[in-house]
């Protein structure tokens, strides 16, 4: 009987640990989402819209989950350095120029990407500021080898 | 006694009606002058002369000269922007486009956007912008003029501040007013194009103005 009790307690403890771990990562993402939303309103919303709907053919929508997944490691570069290449989004080509947001720090970029890729019908989970640094380095070295 | 009461009620109700019908006119903005004129019988008459938009001549997105003739007998909404503006312009035009969608089938309504970027926004650039925004340029004109003309009409006539400013992110600063002009070229309202509630008010006021001038 005692054995069972101890075993039960052990299982509960393990479950509690796993559960609390999940909670911190969820909480982390929630923090990124809140910060990201404010940054989005301040920097992105005037062109891309409150619901990520874009603006005519001037600014593309942010609702193309496939594009966002495929180009995930380029998103940080688009934001930091701006973009001046045509992009096909939701089957339409957008040729406009996106300005750079060089003033944003890695953590800001991470938050805004988490916000965008988990709003407007997207659900792609966490993206850390450490990853931003790695992705920025990749595209900068591709640009200036 | 009862009669007085019912008369009082009628009085109050009619007061409300009068008050309401008075509210159905938009104010007239700008400077005004008083002129004393004589009618055909030689009686003196006092007239108020309101500030009006003077004649202008700009190039539109098709490189065609456009003057006030295009706006004759129409009410219109005017604003100032530039195509490479990344701050308030996209929001202004997102909002103004909803106004355009509401009134695009009304032959008495037009829109005019003046670029303040006289260096870069040549007619061909405006044409591309209009296409990408997705609006019909017969209804919504995009015009280009030299710096003096555009900046002067903005500040003196549409009462909108525009300036070149090398310290600003995009090189210019300007106000985001959407200015409502009536059929007699008088200014009847100005609405902050970046605020949705003011843009909603513009839509209501346009309907009021159209009814007033019927």
The rounded Cα A23 to chain-centroid distance in angstroms is 19
Task: Look at the domain B52-212 and name its fold.
Answer: Glutaredoxin (3.40.30)
Searching chain B, which residue's CA lies closest to the CA of residue A42?
Answer: B87
Residue A5: predicted pLDDT: 87
Residues of B in contact with A56 (CB under 8 A): 97, 132-134
Strands B109-115 and B75-81: parallel
pLDDT digits (tens, 9 = 90+) for A84-101: 999 999 999 999 889 999
Q: Do the chains contact at A49 and B94, CB–CB below 8 Å?
A: yes
Residues of A in contact with B84 (CB under 8 A): 97
Domain spans in chain B, listed from the N-terminal domain onward: 52-212
Residue B10: predicted pLDDT: 65
The rounded Cα B122 to chain-centroid distance in angstroms is 23
| Band of pLDDT at residue B170, cut at 50, 70 and 90 | confident
State how far residue B86 is from chain A, nearest Cα, in angstroms: 7
Residue A101: predicted pLDDT: 95
Question: A53 CB near a chain B CB, below 8 Å?
Answer: no
Domain spans in chain A, listed from the N-terminal domain onward: 24-143
Mention every residue, 6+ apart, whose C-beta is less than 8 A from residue B144. B58, B59, B60, B115, B118, B121, B122, B123, B126
SS3 assignment, position B33: strand
Mention every residue, 6+ apart, whose C-beta is less than 8 A from residue B16. none
DSSP for residue A96: P
Mention every residue, 6+ apart, whose C-beta is less than 8 A from residue A136. A76, A77, A80, A106
Instruction: Report, as an integer, the average pLDDT of A104-131.
Output: 96
Residue A145: predicted pLDDT: 62
For B5, B82, B152, B203, the CA distances from B61, given in Å and listed in that order, are 65, 13, 21, 25
d(CA B117, CA B147): 8
Of A46, A58, A99, the CB nearest to B132: A58
Given a cut of 80, whether residue A24 has pLDDT beyond it is: no
pLDDT digits (tens, 9 = 90+) for B76-115: 999 999 999 988 999 999 999 999 999 999 999 999 999 9
Contact in structure between A113 and A75 (CB atoms under 8 Å): yes
Domain A24-143 has CATH 1.10.760.10: yes
Residue A10: predicted pLDDT: 87
Instruction: Report, as an integer, the average pLDDT of B6-28.
Output: 66
Instruction: Report, as an integer, the average pLDDT of B123-147.
Output: 96
d(CA A117, CA A70): 12
Residues of B in contact with A59 (CB under 8 A): 90
């Amino acid at each position: 009987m005692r054995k069972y009790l101890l075993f039960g307690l052990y299982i509960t403890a393990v479950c509690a640990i796993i559960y609390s771990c999940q909670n911190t990562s969820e909480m982390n993402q929630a923090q990124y989402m809140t910060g990201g939303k404010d940054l989005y309103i301040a920097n992105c919303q005037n062109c891309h819209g409150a619901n990520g709907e874009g603006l005519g053919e001037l600014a593309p929508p942010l609702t193309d989950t496939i594009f966002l997944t495929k180009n995930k490691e380029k998103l940080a570069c688009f934001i930091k350095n701006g973009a001046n290449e045509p992009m096909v989004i939701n089957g339409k080509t957008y040729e406009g120029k996106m300005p750079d947001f060089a003033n944003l720090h890695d953590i800001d970029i991470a938050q805004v990407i988490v916000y965008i890729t988990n709003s407007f019908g997207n659900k792609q989970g966490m993206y850390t500021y450490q990853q931003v640094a790695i992705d920025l380095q990749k595209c900068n070295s591709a640009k200036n080898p | 006694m009862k009669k007085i009461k019912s008369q009082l009620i009628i009085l109050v109700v009619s007061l409300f009606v009068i008050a309401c019908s008075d509210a159905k006119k938009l104010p007239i903005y700008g400077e005004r002058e008083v002129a004393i004129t004589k009618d055909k019988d030689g009686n003196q008459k006092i007239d108020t002369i309101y500030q009006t938009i003077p004649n202008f001549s700009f190039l539109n997105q098709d490189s065609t000269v456009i003057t006030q003739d295009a706006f004759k007998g129409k009410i219109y909404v005017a604003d100032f922007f530039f195509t490479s503006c990344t701050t308030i312009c996209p929001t202004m035009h997102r909002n103004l486009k909803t106004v355009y969608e509401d009134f695009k089938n009304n032959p008495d309504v037009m829109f005019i956007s003046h670029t303040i970027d006289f260096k870069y926004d040549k007619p061909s650039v405006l044409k591309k912008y209009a296409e990408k925004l997705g609006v019909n340029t017969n209804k919504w004109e995009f015009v280009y003029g030299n710096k003096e003309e555009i900046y002067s009409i903005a500040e003196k006539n549409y009462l909108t501040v525009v300036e070149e400013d090398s310290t600003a992110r995009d090189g210019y600063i300007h106000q985001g007013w959407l200015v409502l002009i009536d059929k007699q070229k008088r200014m009847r309202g100005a609405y902050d194009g970046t605020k949705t509630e003011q843009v909603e008010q513009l839509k209501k006021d346009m309907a009021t103005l159209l009814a007033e001038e019927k």
